[in-house]
Amino acid sequence: MFKKAFYTNSSGILCSRIFGFIRDLLMANTLGAGIYSDIFFIAFKLPNLFRRIFSEGAFTQSFLPTFINARKKGLISVCIFAIFFIFLILLSIIVYIFSGFFTKLLAYGFDDYTIELAKPIVAINFWYLSLIFCANFFSSLLQYKNNFWVSAYNTALLNISMILALIFAKDKDAYTIVYILSYSVLVGGIAQILLHCYSLYNLKFFRLFLVGILDLKLILTNKKKSKINILKNDLHSFLKQFFPALLGSSTAQIASFIDTLLASFLVIGSVSYLYYANRIFQLPLALFAIATSTALFPMVAKMIKNNNEAKALQLLKKSFWLLAFTLGICVVGGIVLKNEIIWILFERGKFQRSDTIIVANVFMAYLIGLIPFGLARIFSLWLYSQKRQNIAAKISAISLICGVFFSLILMHSFGAVGLAFSSSLSGFVLLILTIKAFGYSKFRYIINSKKLFMILILTLIIEAIILGILKYLFDFGGFYVDL
């Protein structure tokens, strides 16, 4: 079951990221790295931040255990959906009305003229937040039935929508392109919701929603007071887990968000440099770490509930070594070929050679934190499964504070590269503290394999040698010069 879920998630994420890279190629070619690309990335940053937080586990890690243990599954699902959806709609209306204030919050370093340009773009993109909540709420329900393909593939629809918008608007002025691109985000969000509806119907979740609506109606009309206590207990259990899980699952995303805010104080293009580098960094993180944790969590949660800790630890051990090998290979390959990767992906149109050099260095700084961020996810699953979200939240808060501290120190001397490296340093803090909470005795059991460790080291050394030779031949052949 784990292998099937892992491959489903990995293939879906890979498909989505391929379309995402096509989108970024078109964006780099059309907008380059300048004021208009900075405006869009700032506007898209907050809804995209919440998309990653929700889709990468924060909501599922708190909702799924509550849903599994709920006596009235239809009632709790309808109530949680209504509470979040109404809140997000009201928040979107507030952002629309006070778009100037929120734009200044997102990019405090922008001048007044740029803030005026960014205001309507921020307001448009924020409506995506309500749409992506709906999609990820439905994904959580489908995971309960071990249906992973929809949540894995649905993000591709957002990227396809943005690709079509960029193709349609390629001959227009840059500001108009940003407008059209923003509306395409909303179209993509609607498409994501519609894709979920197909599986929800087949798995009879619409019937569950109807039962939940009828139960809620009886409560509101005071005809079923006995259900009120059941609902209160389930809601309390969910909310008690959700807010800590929200912080605990979002360290990398919040750190990236703060980096973007700080980058607005640096030279023009810094926001875009961080965006392009982080997009590539997110590929192996999503393809392996997030796919693994998404497949693991329902299984580990059920094992913990059934007091089968030994089996859960064995599953975590296999996952640990899988991630150690895959992420290690990605780190070595990415650092050796950092210049070539950015050159192949982005250097065309308005994306110049100077941009390639900076983005490549930012990418390398991000890669240093790939392994700690990836491995921390599987150890944190243990905490979530045991409903220790408060501990996970404290760990994430400490990691985040350390990351901001490092950023403030390094950004003045190293610019965008310093911000990316600070994020990686916070990843090491996150991993160390998560392992401590997980338990050193259990951690020793997880890593207790000298044979696998030696194979891992040997594999990485051989990979570095092979890639170094290929890089030399590549440069010697004149395919890529002057870097």
Structural contact between residues 189 and 128, judged by C-beta atoms closer than 8 angstroms: yes
Per residue in 231-277, pLDDT (tens digit) is 777 787 787 777 776 666 666 667 777 777 788 788 777 888 888 88
Per residue in 371-403, pLDDT (tens digit) is 999 888 888 888 877 777 778 878 888 988 898
DSSP code, position 286: I
pLDDT at residue 72 tops 90: no
- Other Cβ atoms less than 10 A from the Cβ of 2: the count is 15
Of 366, 439, 426, 369, the closest CA to residue 395 belongs to 426
Residue 481 confidence (pLDDT): 46
Residue 184 confidence (pLDDT): 93
Which residue's entry shows tokens 């990979």? 463
- Choice between 33 and 357, residue whose per-residue pLDDT is larger: 357
In whole angstroms, how far apart are CA 184 and each of 3, 60, 153, 157? 35, 27, 18, 10
Of 318, 421, 321, 406, the closest CA to residue 363 belongs to 421
Average confidence (pLDDT) over 269-286:
83
The pLDDT-based confidence of 433 (bands split at 50, 70, 90) is very high
> Interior CA angle at 301 toward 295 and 303, to 5°?
105
The residue type at 402: C
pLDDT at residue 165 tops 60: yes
pLDDT at residue 56 tops 60: no
Residue 51 confidence (pLDDT): 66
Average confidence (pLDDT) over 75-104:
88
Of 41, 422, 453, 77, the closest CA to residue 259 belongs to 422
Report pTM. 0.69
Residue 475 confidence (pLDDT): 60
Query: 126-140, 216-230, 272-286, 323-337: which has the minimum mean pLDDT?
Result: 216-230
Round the CA-based radius of gyration of the chain to a whole number and report it. Answer: 23
2-31 vs 338-346: helix crossing angle, rounded to 10: 60
d(CA 403, CA 201): 44
- Other Cβ atoms less than 10 A from the Cβ of 115: the count is 20
Average confidence (pLDDT) over 277-292:
83
Structure tokens at 77: 């699902």
Give percent of the chain with pLDDT exceeding 70.
Answer: 90
- Choice between 222 and 180, residue whose per-residue pLDDT is larger: 180
Structural contact between residues 357 and 274, judged by C-beta atoms closer than 8 angstroms: no
